[in-house]
Amino acid sequence: MATFGLTGWSAVASDDVVLTLTGAVEGGSVQWTRSDLERLDWQEMGTTTSVTDGVRTFRGILMRDILERSGAEGETVVARALNDYEIDIPVGDFHRFDVLAALYMDGVELTPRDKGPIWIVYPRDDHAELADIRYDMRWVWQLIEIEVR
């Protein structure tokens, strides 16, 4: 089992809940463990970010797939991080762009110490409009909760 201490998280165990969806979702709340996410279709993308150097390779699940599998019915999500950062993201972003719930960067599992367990990653290099501060604010790292409205 993963533990949280002063130095951050150790590895996230496969049966630990890594993401909770609330609000307009099936049953009002859906919890995803790492092993639940492992059973979904994974995607990989290379892109630059505003907080790392060069092109990085991210691996994870499309945000729209997580929302669909959770029975989400809403137009906006409030993405919340471990550090209480939160931002509204239009659900339309997840249908217009292949936005990832990334669990790996450059083949290394993300932990809360380095932007994990989940980092919302936009395909920034594929769409010029995504190289904009409005979208940069939506790259939520240490994502742990999504409220669907």
Residue 6: predicted pLDDT? 32
Strands 29-33 and 17-23: antiparallel
**Residue pLDDT, tens place only, 126-141:** 999 999 999 999 999 9
Hey, is 121 helix, strand or coil?
strand
* Angle made by CA atoms 52, 57, 60, in degrees to the nearest 5: 110
**pLDDT tier for residue 15 given thresholds of 50, 70 and 90:** confident
Section 85-89 average pLDDT: 98
Flag whether pLDDT at 37 surpasses 70.
yes
**pLDDT tier for residue 4 given thresholds of 50, 70 and 90:** very low
Flag whether pLDDT at 26 surpasses 60.
yes
Flag whether pLDDT at 65 surpasses 60.
yes
Region at 84 (left for phi over 0; alpha for psi -120 to 50; beta for the rest): left
Domains of the chain: 4-148 (3.90.420.10)
Flag whether pLDDT at 64 surpasses 70.
yes
Global pTM?
Answer: 0.89
